Chain A
Amino acid sequence: MIKKSLTLIISICILLPVFGLVYWSFTSRLPWPNLISGHLDISAWNALLLQPSHWKSLLTSVLVSSLTVILVHFLVLPICIAVLIYKIKVPNLYWIVILMPLIIPSISLSIGLHLLFLKLGWQGGLLPIVLAHTITSLPYAFRILHSTCLLLGTAMGEQSSVLGASLIQTLFFVYLPNLKKPIILSTLLVFIVSFSQYLLTFLIGGGLIKTLPLALFPIIQSGSRSEAAAASLFFVLGAAFFMWLIEKTIHRQYKDGVTLWYL
């Protein structure tokens, strides 16, 4: 009984703000003491969805986040191989640097990267943004994949070499299939971290590359309530849709569900 009611209370605490968001996105011009407007107003959604620039920035965001996911795994997977096959320990100095983006506030890291890219003359392109997103989201992927590699151990790989498999075969038929679940997990996580990055994109992109948070932040900051509510929901639904899509595409032959929810 107590368990049931506690579950209910927690669920309400999570759902109530979301409900408020949905409610306001369909309500406009509701003077203060009124709670119920009585009719559905879709003007905020209309204004939002009919704006082609929002759809464009959604696509830009997906492009940036996808490239980030690819680059992150391109950097992290070789290290997993080194850990698995060559039993290399990740040096301590690397560990410190890996934990830095998690701990050092995004404001300092963003300004530092901005200065760096200014010095290098990379201002406003797509690739600097992808690199910057990679730096902030790599630690998440690294920790998931590295800890799985340690758990996986080398026993299975040694077994396959005893049976005569080459290194490449061991890699593709033993290690990578076992890493599939954590790779899906880290893909989803890197995607969402990159997808909701505001400050970093704002500074590095110099406002030229408009990702979705960049397009919607001004609406939330100064638009009307219903517009801002619709914008927030648009973002969340976009993120949820693409994460669902990623999960479905990577996961086709995979029966038992891995989901980000259990991270």
Chain B
Amino acid sequence: MLPSRRINALLFAPFALLFVVPTLSALILILIEATANQLSMTYVLREICNDNFWVSFRFSLYIAFVATLLCSVFGFLIALLLLKIPETSGLHRLLGWPILFPHFAVAFMVFLLFSQSGLISRFIAYFWQLPDPSDFPAMVFDQTGLGIILTYVWKEVPFAALMFYSHLLVLKKKYFNLSQLFCRSEAQFAYRVLIPLSKPMAASVFTLLFAYNFGAFEVPLLLGPTSPRTLSVLGFIQYQSADLTARPSAMAINLIITGFSCLILIAYMRALDALKAMGDTP
């Protein structure tokens, strides 16, 4: 059936009008606001030269990188475990739970467990010795961002595990019988077949989670230290500030965040292309 141009246009019209146009114009508006005239351009330049900005940038990058790395590695290992146990064991279902919890609730759960007067510090004080809550290491609101990272790990490891699992399931179906000829053990099968063939999937999961963790706002707002702030929190505070002169620098920060994300987007698209080349649907 040859597509008539008119029907084609009609089917795509609502999508283009209500999704593509607003998304693009929202991003273009940020670009315009940040670079419209010489004055606002100076704000972009000032942000780039600002030490505070770079501290925030590094902090965001560090949190995103550590959290994403942990999520990908643990996610992959759990996916390997999922392959080995029957689907009825309940773990598959349990891994879906964190999808129901919004990030702010997870952040609060981490606070309840890991803060200096949280359940874990009480547990230690109850069974062993802990003279004062301040003897428990600061794990939330701390400079290392441990609380934020733990939140992301709890929320995203299951997600990564289920993504990897669906991929590994396909690989196993395709190659397991063949591998019986060549591989001596299942460990060898995992090492020689599953890990190399999971690289495109790993790249796609990694970039997706990295982009999210880099720009997420609620968790660092709730659990982050007041200094350094992550870039997203900094941008939001500037945007909401009653001081109108803070607004151009908010736009400048957001422009830089968006520009950086576009780089991640390119990486993500390349990962998806690699997946498509493997015959896995995008």
Mark A residues whose CB is within 8 Å of B: 3, 6-7, 10-11, 13-18, 20-21, 23-24, 32-35, 71, 74-76, 78-79, 81-82, 85-88, 94-109, 111-113, 115-116, 119, 131, 134-135, 138, 143, 146-147, 150-151, 161, 192, 195-196, 198-199, 213, 216-217, 220-221, 225, 228-229, 232, 235-236, 239-240, 243, 259-263
Given A7-B85, A88-B8, A105-B214, A220:B1 Cβ within 8 A: no
Looking at the assembled complex, report how far the CB atom of A29 sits from the nearest CB atom of chain B, in whole angstroms.
Answer: 13
- Which residues of B (140-179) have their CB < 8 Å from a CB of A? 154, 158, 162, 166
Residues of B within 8 A of A213 (CB): 102, 104
Residues of B within 8 A of A75 (CB): 14-15, 18-19
Given A24-B112, A116-B22, A96:B265 Cβ within 8 A: yes
With the chains together, A3 CA to B85 CA distance in Å? 7
With the chains together, A205 CA to B254 CA distance in Å? 20
Candidate in B90, B113, B121, B208 with the most chain A CB atoms within 10 angstroms: B113
Given A14-B97, A112-B26, A103:B3 Cβ within 8 A: no
Residues of A within 8 A of B67 (CB): none
Structural contact, B22 and A17, CB atoms closer than 8 A: no
Residues of A within 8 A of B84 (CB): 3
Residues of A within 8 A of B19 (CB): 75, 97-98, 134-135, 138
Residues of B within 8 A of A112 (CB): 25-27, 29-30, 254, 258
Given A116-B26, A147-B281, A102:B11 Cβ within 8 A: no
Contact with A along B71-113 (1 / 0, CB 8 A): 0000000100100110001111111111111111111111011
Structural contact, A220 and B261, CB atoms closer than 8 A: no
With the chains together, A243 CA to B222 CA distance in Å? 27
Structural contact, B122 and A34, CB atoms closer than 8 A: yes
Residues of A within 8 A of B119 (CB): 20, 23, 35
Nearest chain-A residue to B106 (Cβ)?
A: A17
Given A35-B122, A236-B105, A119:B18 Cβ within 8 A: no
CB of B239 within 8 A of chain A? yes
Structural contact, A102 and B208, CB atoms closer than 8 A: yes
Structural contact, A107 and B215, CB atoms closer than 8 A: yes
Residues of A within 8 A of B235 (CB): 107-108, 111
Structural contact, A100 and B162, CB atoms closer than 8 A: no
Residues of A within 8 A of B262 (CB): 103-104
Q: For A113, give its contact among B10, B22, B81, B91 (CB under 8 Å).
A: B22
Residues of A within 8 A of B81 (CB): 3, 6-7, 10
Q: For B91, give its contact among A10, A96, A104, A135 (CB under 8 Å).
A: A10
Candidate in A75, A103, A217 with the most chain B CB atoms within 10 angstroms: A103
Looking at the assembled complex, report how far the CB atom of A85 sits from the nearest CB atom of chain B, in whole angstroms.
Answer: 7
Given contacts A21-B105, A82-B8, 7 further A-B contacts (CB under 8 A): A11-B91, A17-B106, A17-B154, A116-B25, A116-B26, A135-B19, A259-B96
Structural contact, B122 and A100, CB atoms closer than 8 A: no
CB of B35 within 8 A of chain A? no
Structural contact, B105 and A232, CB atoms closer than 8 A: yes
Looking at the assembled complex, report how far the CB atom of A234 sits from the nearest CB atom of chain B, in whole angstroms.
Answer: 10
